[in-house]
Amino acid sequence: MGKIAFEKFESSFTILNPFNDFAPELHTVEVRKDPLTGDTSVYNPYLRDKAKAFFGQNDEELLRKLVEESAGSCIFCGENAHQKTARYPDSLLPGGRMEQGEAVLFANLFSLAPHHPVIVLSKAHFLRPSQFSPPLLADGFQAARIFLNDIYQQDVTLAFATVNCNYLLPAGASLVHPHMQMLVTPVPYSYHARLLNGSTEYLLQRGTYYFADFLEEEMRANERYIVKHGAWHWLTAFSPLGSNEIMAIHEEEGDLGKITVRDLRELSEGISRVLGLIEGLGHLSFNFSLYSARGGETIGFRCLFKIVTRQNFCANYRNDDYFLQKMLQSELIFTLPEDLAIDARKAFA
């Protein structure tokens, strides 16, 4: 057995299908456990062909209306981001806002932490996933990194940072305009804490670093490993957090504050390719997070980026976050991570 346990449990059962004259049908369900957090996900091959029915198809006309109607009052559009958005006091951020290429960082009116800036990525009000270009993303992450290092100097208790994105309404975005949000806190929020606690426990039990061992195993197995692009290892998740999860792990650094401009550019190139892939798979809406921990290297934590796709945008859509995700904190797998990795390798080729 390798260093990392990729546990899965299979169960079989029979149902009598009313759409097939109540003929007996043998079903198999596979439950997978994330090797770090223990989070479960479930795969039923019968659902494989039902992904289209579950996620719907994007309604282009409805989307056009949403984009058009929301553009008129958008405070992130064009010069508005520089003029109409909330500012930080000069003592925290001289000038109140920060510009980096097209990106503009400013204070969130509805903050979830003392340091919760919004980072508008583009002057354009709407982008298709494939239009999130590497420079747009890299400038956004660079603004986040500069802000993070500034506030690190002002407050030594700040250690846990995430850079997050909800894209479009089904992903929880209240505004259409492409933007990210960074949270910097003295306490890690739940999932972030589970990643860090898992890394610490692994180190205490094994005496080695989880992410180093994990990458070694994934590269050797070559089932979910996609590619190394610059300093980042890209792969699909054995037990995904959401649909079509793809992640990137930095080769050594755990703190966004120490990631170089070049590494951010390479991460952005990868994200841009993944966004092109998910658009090609028929998705529009997504969430992503980049997790960082100051001093994370002491427990072998690595900067980790995760992206998942969400429900497509159409009228009367079903929410993809139901009891399984919300109350049981499990996820349903439609496309096997091993199959997604095959498509992703082509996207990076």
Please identify, among the stretches 83-91, 119-127, 157-165, 203-211, the one whose residues bind Zn ion according to the rule CB under 5 A: 119-127
Query: Least distance from C-beta 76 to Zn ion, angstroms?
Result: 5
Give 325: exposed, middle or buried? Use CB within 10 Å, 0-12, 13-18, 19+.
middle
Contact 246, 224 (CB under 8 A): no
The dihedrals phi and psi of 11, each to the nearest 5 degrees, come to -135, 145
- DSSP run (H or E) holding 347: helix 337-348
Contacts to Zn ion from residues 286-345, by CB under 5 A: none
Query: Least distance from C-beta 126 to Zn ion, angstroms?
Result: 8
Query: Least distance from C-beta 275 to Zn ion, angstroms?
Result: 19
Residue closer to Zn ion (CB basis): 97 or 115:
97
Output the six-digit token pair for 203: 């180190």
- Between CA 8 and CA 42 the distance in angstroms is 9
Q: Which of 4, 36, 77, 184 binds Zn ion (CB under 5 A)?
A: 77
Residue closer to Zn ion (CB basis): 80 or 335:
80
Residue closer to Zn ion (CB basis): 104 or 275:
104
Contacts to Zn ion from residues 190-249, by CB under 5 A: none
Please identify, among the stretches 113-121, 122-130, 241-249, 335-343, the one whose residues bind Zn ion according to the rule CB under 5 A: 122-130
Residue closer to Zn ion (CB basis): 127 or 203:
127
Q: Which of 32, 97, 125, 192 binds Zn ion (CB under 5 A)?
A: 125
Please tell me whether residue 121 binds Zn ion under the rule CB under 5 A: no
Query: Least distance from C-beta 303 to Zn ion, angstroms?
Result: 29
Residue closer to Zn ion (CB basis): 126 or 301:
126
- DSSP run (H or E) holding 279: helix 261-280
Please give the size of the binding site for Zn ion, defined by CB under 5 A. 5
Query: Least distance from C-beta 127 to Zn ion, angstroms?
Result: 10
Query: Least distance from C-beta 58 to Zn ion, angstroms?
Result: 19
Output the six-digit token pair for 283: 């998705």
Helix axes 190-206, 210-221, angle to 10 degrees: 90
- Between CA 114 and CA 183 the distance in angstroms is 8
Beta strands in the chain (DSSP E): 8-17, 23-33, 40-43, 98-100, 103-106, 118-120, 160-167, 179-185, 225-229, 232-236, 243-250, 286-293, 304-309, 331-333
Instruction: Count how many residues are written for the chain.
Output: 349
Query: Least distance from C-beta 75 to Zn ion, angstroms?
Result: 8
**Angle, CA of 308, 309 and 315, to the nearest 5°:** 150
H helix intervals, 56-157: 60-71, 80-83, 134-154
- Between CA 131 and CA 126 the distance in angstroms is 9
Largest CA distance in the chain: 73
Query: Least distance from C-beta 81 to Zn ion, angstroms?
Result: 8
Residue closer to Zn ion (CB basis): 61 or 68:
68
Residue closer to Zn ion (CB basis): 177 or 294:
177
Query: Least distance from C-beta 82 to Zn ion, angstroms?
Result: 13
Q: Which of 32, 97, 145, 177 binds Zn ion (CB under 5 A)?
A: 177
Contacts to Zn ion from residues 17-76, by CB under 5 A: 74, 76
DSSP 318: P
Q: Which residue is nearest to Zn ion (CB)?
A: 74
Using CB under 5 A as the criterion, which residues of the chain lie in contact with Zn ion when the complex forms? 74, 76-77, 125, 177
